[in-house]
Structure 1
Amino acid sequence: MKASRTLPGLALSTALVLMALGSLVGCQSLDDFEKQIKSAGEPLIGSFLPSSGPVGGTVTVRGFNFGTDKGEVVFMNKDGLSVPAPISAWNDEFVTLSVPELGIATGDVPVTLRTAAGKVTSLTAQFTLTRS
């Protein structure tokens, strides 16, 4: 596998884990692995830009297979309930949203994406909530 680049839109740690998984399924390069991810059709959250922020802050979720029709991104609140985020832009690899009110001051928050077709990210991503 090439080590000179990472998969677009993915945090380095996520890309490294996925590269290791890719080698287990016979991918010979990052390009090959990226094609395999995209062809699988399952949504995958790769990173948040920024990776942390306050309630009301604007965040871009980057990844693959989100679809072109708007779905839903939910943050888990302190009681484990899903809180949908207001979405301002959506495409197959990027979603721009505002962090919803979660009832906690700071900490890591699980985030899940559901496409308009009903597919859900199989790996829950973590966003870090900060004070404003």
Structure 2
Amino acid sequence: MIDGILAFLSYLGTAVALLFAFVLIYIRVTPYREFELIAHNNKAVAVTLAGAVLGFTFPLMSSIFYTQSLVEMVVWAGITCLVQLAVFWVLRRYAKRIENGDFSSALMVATFSVAVGLLNAVSISH
């Protein structure tokens, strides 16, 4: 029982730390200040960030389930981070529109972030 609780805490703690690290990296890479814009009620930026967070979290969840160690999980988190940054880079032409509050552009970028994240997650299982 104690071993199970320690494993749970190890994986959960590491996963939460990786999630925060991803968010910090992501907001440094994007050309706008997410939290400042979200504080000013920019829903487009909030949706884009939410899509990236979900796109990162699904594969992270999959890596916890399918890998054999914390080290493997961290490696997959790094790969997943790079994949999410690549999604943003491919769709970077929408960044200014998102910053200006264009919700349709944000929804498209968020959808691709989640879709690629889901594909990434299921790919980890093989």
TM-score, structure 1 normalization: 0.28
Relative to its length, the structure with more helix (as a share) is 2
Larger RCO, structures 1/2 (Cα 8 Å, 6+ apart): 2
Relative to its length, the structure with more strand (as a share) is 1
